[in-house]
Structure 1
Amino acid sequence: MSPGAAHGELFPRPRAVVAPGAVHVPNWLSVERQRELVDVCRDWARGPVPIRHTVLPGGGVMSVQTVCVGWHWQPYRYTRTAGDVNGARVADFPDWLGRLGRAALVEAYGEAAADGPGSGDPGTRMAYAPDTALVNFYEGAAKMGLHQDKDEKSDAPVVSLSIGDTCVFRFGQTENRGRPYTDVELASGDLFVFGGPSRFAYHGVPKVYPGTADPATGMKGGRLNITLRETGLT
């Protein structure tokens, strides 16, 4: 049975290679696993560093709300403590989340992807060890402009998990924010991995479709996005 059929979709969505190293796997997370992730994200959102709207260096405020685990991200660096919020140390990155990230990499790239030494190229073997998670919550008209994930010292792939409302995920190229780009609908339970040639591709979320979440996941509205990364920091 295909993943889509298993989740009761009339027309199951196939997995797709959106660009070299960028793979979309629909319905990778079960509803039960999504509900577990929603619960733990709610715990993280309460602290020790609470969820917040990130303030950009120019004074702008991001419309998404973010909470971090393992390392605290603030534009445009990682720290162990949240000097821009309350000065506390962020919650530790749990081992089980690292295992989930490695399982995601295997799902996207194959069995060899998460083991042994290697670069960040999905064609080689690599020891994937994510040590931070950025959890973004999209509520109302929140969106994310096109950007690169380039504050990490590691070029290991980024693992992205979606829970809640469906969104338009815009995946571009590595040179600039212009075309060409591909718009992909990410629904609750979907996995998206980008690494190798696509690791530093511009990407963003121009739109979220309110009211599309399955209440069985524990989401009462909005979209939760969990991105796992290797910072390359010690």
Structure 2
Amino acid sequence: MTDATPVAPPTLRTRLAAETAGTFLLVFALIGAATSTAVFPDEQNTLGIGLLGVALTLGLTVMIGASAFGPVSGGHFNPAVTVGLAVAGRFRWADVVPYVVAQFVGGTLGAGVLLLVAGQGADGFLRSTLDSGFASNGYGDHSPAGSTLLGVAIAETVATAVFVTVILRVTGRRGSPVPPPVVIGATLTILLLTLIPVSNASLNPARSFATAVFAGPEWLAQWWAFLVFPVLGAVLAGVVARLRARA
């Protein structure tokens, strides 16, 4: 005989805690890999994981976070994803602001803990980490490849639209033969490998804010672009998904 007692859905507080934890994990792992492990022990990269390792770190982290926290909150960990899902009619608009706040809090805490760890490293490591931009996103002089604002705008908009479209498709009614966290993580890995030279790869306003707020005014002054264009891409993906559902 089985227990047929229905399980109550997670409360908003529980879901927000899951979003905070998941975004913390994402930023802590990604930025930790980008600022330390990617060039360990030095710029000669003898043991470092490089750009491929950084991209894989994010992809694997998203797989883990979506598997661990997705059943509770949906596993957004990204304000652009939350907005895109709401536009597509797959998430309640009333919960958008609380989710976004939780994501910003989690991401900023993740970056802050990394700086605490960096402060316990070799003399000058914390200062050099911040002086190099703390893996923040940027355009122009702050782009790894010197990409213009227009180039960054196109890249971030298109990549986020693709990312949110993949999420909407693999979590939709038709589903996917491959577990959604695997597909989503793999997609993010590929997009990161494409965008790191362009903008240091954002696709996530919370991730961008978390590092820029510590890196300094020059980086924070460019954060607006990594709020506007990922959200724009997510909105476009949501609109297309909604129109397809009505067709």
TM-score by length of 2: 0.27
Q: Which has the larger radius of gyration?
A: 2
- Greater relative contact order structure (CA < 8 Å, 6+ sep): 2
Q: Which has the higher helix share?
A: 2
Larger % of strand: which? 1
Q: What TM-score, normalized to structure 1? A: 0.28
